[in-house]
Amino acid sequence: MNRLQRMAHNESNARDINEATSEEAGEGTGKVAFICECGYKECDAPLPMTRDEYEYVRASGSRFAVLDKDHVIDEVEDVIEDFGRYVVLEKHSDGKKVADLRDPRSEAKSRRVLLVDDSLEVRSLLKILLSVDNACTVVGEAEDGSRGIEAAIDTRPDVVVLDLEMPVMDGWEALPKIVEAVPTANVVVFSSYARASQRKLAELGAFNFVEKGSDLTVIVSAVKDAALSGAKDARTLSMADGKAGRDTLT
């Protein structure tokens, strides 16, 4: 991912925060504590707006509100309105593609998937299988739990596929930290561990569990189910059973 793509994702991350802020604020005409939706990762400048003002910005999935023109990235966006307290910008080129893909209000948006598994072969195979259907887009990969947490924070996925047996930090330790970092994500645990661990996994926040060795269609179906389920306030671990077939991950 290049610099401009990373900044476009940062903008979308800020917009995700503002979407949650808008929902929590409810109806009203007073100012709401939104934040600047610029692409600079460390920026969390306050951007007080009414909900009506925010909804005006959100009329388009490629529009964002930022503090001032100094927060505009000329290569991928243009200022379309200046309200003094903030400016509204419109994304173009690759920035628009990222914005539209990440728009939480788009019914057609592809669900974002993060793969955390120490096996490059497993990650590559899952990427190929998930790419067949536009319902899911793999937005990140990590080979251990520690990097998986960082990737989850950076990419804000809808679904995380998490292996349990990994070096540096295993999935058991990473699972609750990923759930805490991205509470809207559904975590599908994909492992050769015995199913007897399902209660513990549920307690740690897992959405589903699939055994390695199951038919490939089982894990793909589990990821799609997690994606279509949307964010869960209370997760219930449901077992995804499948008979081993010729095409399996081990």
The enclosing domain of 115 has a CATH number of 3.40.50.2300
Q: Which of 94, 114, 129, 109 is nearest to 16 (CA)?
A: 109
Instruction: Based on the fold, state whether residues 126 and 34 are members of the same structural domain.
Output: no
Instruction: Based on the fold, state whether residues 68 and 151 are members of the same structural domain.
Output: no
* H-run or E-run covering 138: strand 136-142
Instruction: Based on the fold, state whether residues 76 and 8 are members of the same structural domain.
Output: yes
* H-run or E-run covering 188: strand 186-191
Q: Is residue 246 situated within a structural domain?
A: no
Instruction: Based on the fold, state whether residues 161 and 84 are members of the same structural domain.
Output: no
Q: Which residue has the higher pLDDT, 172 or 101?
A: 172
pLDDT score of 243 more than 60: no
Total structural domains within the chain: 2
Q: Which of 75, 102, 129 is the last residue of a domain?
A: 102
pLDDT in tens, 3-25: 777 788 788 889 989 988 988 88
* pTM metric for this prediction: 0.56
pLDDT value, residue 238? 47
Instruction: Based on the fold, state whether residues 81 and 201 are members of the same structural domain.
Output: no
pLDDT value, residue 83? 93
pLDDT in tens, 67-122: 999 999 888 899 999 999 999 999 987 778 778 777 877 755 678 899 999 999 99
Q: Band of the pLDDT at 231, cuts 50, 70, 90?
A: low
Mean pLDDT of 152-169: 93
Instruction: Based on the fold, state whether residues 87 and 184 are members of the same structural domain.
Output: no
Instruction: Based on the fold, state whether residues 45 and 19 are members of the same structural domain.
Output: yes
Please tell me whether residue 167 adopts helix, strand or coil conformation.
Answer: coil
Instruction: Based on the fold, state whether residues 39 and 153 are members of the same structural domain.
Output: no
Instruction: Based on the fold, state whether residues 148 and 98 are members of the same structural domain.
Output: no
Instruction: Based on the fold, state whether residues 13 and 81 are members of the same structural domain.
Output: yes
Instruction: Based on the fold, state whether residues 65 and 177 are members of the same structural domain.
Output: no
Q: Which of 215, 221, 212 is nearest to 244 (CA)?
A: 215
Place of tokens 């401009």: 4
